[in-house]
Amino acid sequence: MSQRCARRVALAAAIGLIVACFNGRASAQASATATGPGASVVVGGGVSMFQSVYGQRDLGGGFVFVDIQPQWRFSVEAEARYLRLHTSEDVTEKNYLVGPRVLVRSGRWQPYGKFLIGDGHIDMPFQYGHGDFLALVPGAGLDVELSSVVNVRIVDVEYQLWRAFPYGNLRPYGISAGLSLRLTPIVRFPKGPRFHHGRVHLSAPSD
């Protein structure tokens, strides 16, 4: 798959996911019983180590990411990764990915799962060629909240499937770790009235 085609697929996926998430946000805000953290935008980055199937080499590098969180459980994550360290014969890899991320629980410890799609780029040995391929990337990880602004990404694991590589599908996999900053404050929606057997139970006011 060409670089232009792969990026068009990633862009279309990003637009669709963002629209869907913000529609979900509107629905959540219309509900009187919405609870939990509200919308936020998170940016971060860190270091990565990936097993490159092409050449059987552990490549090191860095990554950056952005999470757009219309509500606490669901978000759209976009990431870029550059693997240029510990290379063999000038083999390097890059990723440009986007997709949904689902938080399992809120609180200090925040496990999550995700599924990203986008462009996997590889530079071949001795610079004799390069290519861009459609990458399908399931993953999971754990964030730890240090404060209302700072999170530590303890671990992020990805298993990547690069489609239509000339010598068979590539399957790089690896781990990442880093830090993130929340650019917008967490808004916690108040609890609304609960209905039970025809009676309304009002939530106790918070201190």
Instruction: Encode pLDDT of 85-96 as tens digits.
Output: 988 777 899 999
- How distant is the alpha carbon of residue 20 from its chain centre? 16
| Helix (H), strand (E) counts: the chain | 1, 13
Stretches in the chain below the pLDDT threshold 50: 1-3, 5-36, 188-198, 200-201, 203, 207
In this structure, the number of other CB atoms found within 10 A of the CB of residue 57 comes to 17
> Which residue ranges form the domains of the chain, and what is each CATH number?
3-28+40-201 (2.40.160.20)
Cα separation, 108 vs 157, in Å, equals: 20
Using DSSP bridges, classify how beta strands 74-85 and 92-103 pair: parallel, antiparallel or unpaired: antiparallel
Q: What is the mean pLDDT of the chain?
A: 78
DSSP single-letter state for residue 197: T
